[in-house]
Amino acid sequence: MFDWEAAWHAALYGPGGFFARGEKPSGHFRTSPLVGPELASALLTLLSRVDAALGFPPVVDFVDVGAGGGELAFAVRSQASGSLASRLRVTAVEVGPFVELPGVRWVREVPPCVGLLVGHEWLDAIPCPVVRGPSSDPWITRWWPSLADGELAEVGAPRDAAWAAAVRGVRGAALAIDYGHLVSSRRFTLTGYREGRQVPPVFDGSCDITAHVAFDSCAAAAGGDRVLVSQRDALGALGLTGGVAGSGWEWLESAARAGRVAELRDPSGLGAFGWLLHGRGVAVSDLLPFLPPWRPNPASFSSA
């Protein structure tokens, strides 16, 4: 029997694997940190709220799990100012080769932290077992009850365990940002990406292999105070809006920023990403106002 999880893991993280050899997401698909500095700005606003809720600790962490080339971690470090900047410790977690960036420390294991931990498109790259229905797997029984005979499904248990472990080590808040589905909308989504194109998933290390995140099971596994909202709504609540003002160069700069914000909040694109936010010793209501619950974007289920 083919071991999907082992093959997936070897293709990404084994000797010569896609990420192990140093491939960076920026070379293969467009992510929110690559759009511009605006995501980092919004996350700094969120971190500032976490910092205040924690009582302004002597050291406050920003931990970027699955950091890739470190674009998000470096942008957060670069934009921080005032008291927060003087107390901020930025950590990038990555299994591949490290990228030397001023003010960013690199580690290979998720560390405990006091502040904000962010897994930006991290969970989708954690390999999973794959089963064919009917299946008696306990995770499938609970979280994919609609699995029909002959259909394939990714078993999200390894992601649940990874997210629960990461959240346990946090005092402050933990945030997973990803594309995903819910028990009401499960669909087999395993696919590959190479050089900006979606491609069939092959397990030879030549492409990134990814699948949608079961947000509801990850949320339940980590437990506690939490919300699941859309990136579009979360960014708006963190002050990221796209107004255009001024004249001349000022107008051009604000128009460019407005375009980047629009891309980040596009409900048919990046704005449809889910934001799963857990409070750890901090009330989620102190970090985000009440927002509509996240719903999956059917367009994200397209296959190669």
The answer to whether residue 144 scores a pLDDT higher than 80 is yes
Supply the pLDDT for residue 286: 98
The answer to whether the bond into 134 is cis (omega within 30° of 0) is: yes
Collect contacts of 197-201 with beta carbons under 8 A, ≥24 apart.
198/302, 198/304, 199/304, 200/304, 201/304
**Full-model pTM:** 0.94
The answer to whether residue 1 scores a pLDDT higher than 90 is no
CB atoms within 10 A of CB 189: 20
Name the band, by pLDDT with cuts 50, 70 and 90, for residue 154: very high
pLDDT in tens, 242-293: 776 656 677 677 777 788 889 999 999 999 999 999 999 999 999 999 999 9
